[in-house]
């Protein structure tokens, strides 16, 4: 709400300034036609520069609005992709990673570490290290069935058990 009010007030102030400068320019040019004075000519040039600056600013704003309108309402499918990617922009930069060499913060070293990781990950040769496999499997704890539970696997369920499991 306040933003629109400020923008409206700013537009009114610019319009008032433009009208004031145009009025001064017309008055000074009339006086200049009657009698030529060098200092008045310098004042006219200053006023023309200020007026030109105001008009250029207005045209830049209009041009920017037209470009924005074309971008948002244009037929390009990349616009939707850009809108989807914009919220995720903050996730695009990796500031630091932990590697076997310690903490890496240099973007080139980070990129090199990722290249090494993915080249090993997607290598076509299979390197089977039995010590690493054993270490991995020893660290994993898997749940196993007790003797009772394993003997119940092949047994048929009773009507009572069905009703407990499926009330309806």
d(CA 110, CA 99): 9
**How many CB atoms sit inside 10 A of residue 47's CB?**
19
- The answer for residues whose C-beta is within 8 angstroms of residue 62's C-beta and 6 or more apart is none
SS3 state of residue 68? helix
pTM above 0.95, yes or no: no
d(CA 52, CA 24): 14
pLDDT tens digits, residue range 38-47? 888 888 888 8
Cβ atoms of residues 48 and 25 within 8 Å: yes
- In which band, very low, low, confident or very high, does the pLDDT at 1 lie, cut at 50, 70 and 90? very low
d(CA 7, CA 81): 31
Cβ atoms of residues 47 and 25 within 8 Å: yes
Q: Which two tokens stand for residue 108?
A: 């080139």
pLDDT tens digits, residue range 17-74? 889 989 998 999 999 899 888 888 888 888 888 888 888 887 777 777 766 666 666 6
């Amino acid at each position: 709400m306040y933003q629109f009010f400020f923008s409206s007030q700013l537009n009114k102030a610019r319009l008032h300034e433009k009208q004031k400068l145009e009025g001064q320019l017309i008055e000074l040019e009339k006086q200049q036609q009657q009698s030529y004075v060098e200092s008045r000519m310098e004042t006219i040039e200053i006023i023309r520069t200020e007026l030109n600056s105001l008009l250029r600013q207005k045209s830049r704003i209009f041009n920017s609005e037209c470009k924005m309108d074309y971008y948002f309402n244009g037929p390009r499918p990349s616009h939707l992709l850009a809108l989807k990617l914009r919220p995720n922009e903050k996730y695009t930069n990796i500031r630091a990673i932990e590697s076997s060499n310690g903490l890496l913060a240099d973007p080139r070293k980070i990129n090199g570490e990722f290249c090494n990781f993915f080249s090993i990950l997607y290598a076509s040769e299979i390197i089977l290290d039995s010590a690493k496999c054993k270490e991995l499997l020893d660290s994993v704890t898997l749940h196993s069935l007790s003797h009772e539970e394993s003997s119940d696997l092949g047994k048929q369920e009773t009507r009572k058990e069905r009703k407990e499991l499926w009330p309806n």
